[in-house]
Structure 1
Amino acid sequence: MSIFVHSFFMDKKSFTFDEIKLKLVNYCVYQDRCHYEVEQKMKEFLLIPEAKEEIILYLIKENYLNEERFTRSYIRGKFYIKHWGRNKIKMNLKQKGINDKLISKCMDEIDEIDYEKTVNKIYEDYFSKQKGLKDYQKRSKAIKHLISKGFEYDVILDILKND
């Protein structure tokens, strides 16, 4: 046991401040990140609070770390690729420490017509896959599915009324 623990710590590589800073720059360049994600990544390195702060400020100053850009990118990706509704997107952004005001400001990334079309398509696809059920049961299951994907109940009902 002690041999394993000893060799485990021997294999841990230590990095200079500049190497850590470069690793975090690359982390942000690869994909838009929020402050929370960068702070979580920093936990991999033994940094004093002043060093963490200096790196965060550098990333912001050089525009590697931009909360609004991250939020907009996240909203587009989760809606247009994963087909999440606004509620699920908001909840996940809040878990990443993004404030309500910024989330609301960036929600214009989702086109209203695209939103309605997506709700319709998911509803129709899910409804048509339900076998051996009465229509009202299929409808109920499809609505529950849309809610679980983060779509708002009133939006779902409005769209279904217009069908």
Structure 2
Amino acid sequence: MKLSEPQALNRIAGYCSRAERCEYDVRKKLVSWELSGEEIERIVKRLKQERFLDDSRFVKSFINDKLKFNKWGKTKIIFELRKRNIQESIYSPIFDEVSGDEFEKQLMHILSIKAKSVKGKNDYEKKTKLIRFALGRGFSMDLVIKCVDKLLGGDYEEYIT
């Protein structure tokens, strides 16, 4: 669908006002509206001037939402931010504000729920399934092993050799 520059600006401003957006998502949408590169640059510049578009604000919101609602780990969140071309200099300080306890608390919560439904022939198999589940959610291996050991007891290290 081909839009004129003023129409696109109005639509994209509404799009940005409904939820936090990153520059990558906005540019993708503008390209889909068949705007020229120059028009896209002018629109993005104007959105930034009028504070409709701010990547650091987007990152704060994104990290908070993915941690609290989706129960994602740091690795998965970083992967998704990199997919959106967000610079490490933007998201790194925001991750420093989030304490490691937040990630551990979320991981313990999802593991305790998942542990009720995981079936295994023995403890080793059950722990392995829980570890794979948590790694898929984007949590680090050391945090996962720590939480699985807390939850199910024992020491997973003895199985690794």
Tell me the percent identity: 27
Equivalent residue runs for 1:6-155 within 5 Å? 14-108=2-96, 110-155=98-143
The whole-number CA distance in structure 2 between the counterparts of 1:109 and 1:29 is 25
Q: Normalization by structure 2: what TM-score?
A: 0.86
Deviation at 1:49, TM superposition (A): 1.8
Instruction: Report the count of equivalent residues.
Output: 151
- Asked if the contact 1:59–1:65 (Cα under 8 Å) also holds between the matched residues in 2, the reply is yes
Note the C-alpha offset of 1:32.
0.7
1:43 match: secondary structure: helix
- Structure label with greater radius of gyration: 1
- Structure 2 unmatched runs, 5+: 152-161
2:18 partner amino acid? Y
Give the superposed CA RMSD: 1.7
**Cα deviation per residue 1:113-163 (whole Å; 9 max; x = unaligned)?**
222111112222222212353122111100110000000001122334455
User: What is the match of residue 155 of structure 2?
Assistant: none
SS at match of 1:33: coil
